[in-house]
Structure 1
Amino acid sequence: MVALVGVLMVVAAVAWACSASGQDDPRADDTATGSPTPDPILALLPAVTVTPTPSALHSPGASPSPKAAAVKAKPKTRARRPGQTCDPSDLVLDIRGQGEIYTRGNQPRFIVTLVNTSDVMCTTDVGARALEVRITSGDDRIWSSADCVSGEAKEIRRLDRGIPYVRQIEWNRHRSGDDCSARHSAAKAGTYVAVVRTPDLKSHKAIFHLR
């Protein structure tokens, strides 16, 4: 009996030793799997989301979106045909006085030019009402070449590229107005401004003086 009890005690001791060696150490698991315990300080930091840059979204090899293609597309300019009405953006209007000071008895004279800068010939109205020379003194309207126009007021001219239309204007030093039958007074000595204008264009100012 004593011998049997001794044998059972030896078997129980061996079984306990084997079960104790088979238990896993939690720290050993962390080390073996390579997943350390999370740092509590790192857990407090906010998560950061990285947004791809526009260059990354539109790489050289990527096809542009339909919206981007629509923005880049430019409407084709319709070619102009010779003889069409001139576009005001293609015309250059100018006026030059033949003097700066006009003494008594001398009438101011001006040269008006209109130049077509487009690639093709075009047409425009250069009649007395369409191409007006106006003289002012301050806010006072003194004279206009469009006042009291008789005969055919419309005059259509062909303008070739770079070849100016030229007109000479002479002012009689008197006022003008809507009443063509009235006798208008002579302009006084002083400083005056002459400009030439169309419905869409206006030249620079030509300043002169009457003595």
Structure 2
Amino acid sequence: MFTSLVKGMIENTPIKKWEYIDRRLEIRRKRKRIEFIEQFLPKNGIGAELGVFKGHLSPTLLEHTKPQKLHLIDPWYFLSSRWEWANGNQSTVDALIKILQIFKKEIEDGRILIHVGDDLQVVATFPDRYFDWVYIDTSHQYEHTKQELLLLESKVKEDGIIAGDDWQPDPNRRHYGVYKAVNEFVSSGKYTLIYSDNDNRQWAIKRS
């Protein structure tokens, strides 16, 4: 059915072959990411997304983890007025406004809490063993990721999960720092890598 649907899109929509391939790849990655979230992130708990950007993943996290509370943490305009590297609208203020509009009901209900600021500073304000899970999608830099993991060691529950995006084992890739930081962190023996996917770029760790 999926193949027929995509074939119909190709026949009725004037898109180029490479665009068709990109769309199929993106659909497959989204499906695998949902499967990853459903399998590894605890349900009905307290979660956090570090690095929200324009909120592309936030609805998926909300739908498939059904959290009691979901903390969305991003510097937005505290970092800069624009994301020069982003596609489309680069305004950080507009991105935050969009988030507030999309989750208006959940914010008013207290189910979603918005935090504007550096994630290390924001996360440090929470009690120890507070989160059931945290998903990291921030700077992707080695030092920053290393600091995040060290901080989350005390902020995530004993049976909690730390997960994230941009798992890239190739040292020549731009986000290799995430892979390096996570592997160094688990090498201490306190945490175990329970999932990694070079294709879908997702990873998850939990306390040993």
**TM-score, scaled relative to structure 2:** 0.18
Q: Higher strand proportion, which one?
A: 1
Greater RCO, 1 or 2 (C-alpha within 8 Å, sep 6+): 1
TM-score by length of 1: 0.18
Whose helix proportion is higher, 1 or 2?
2
The structure number with the bigger radius of gyration is 1
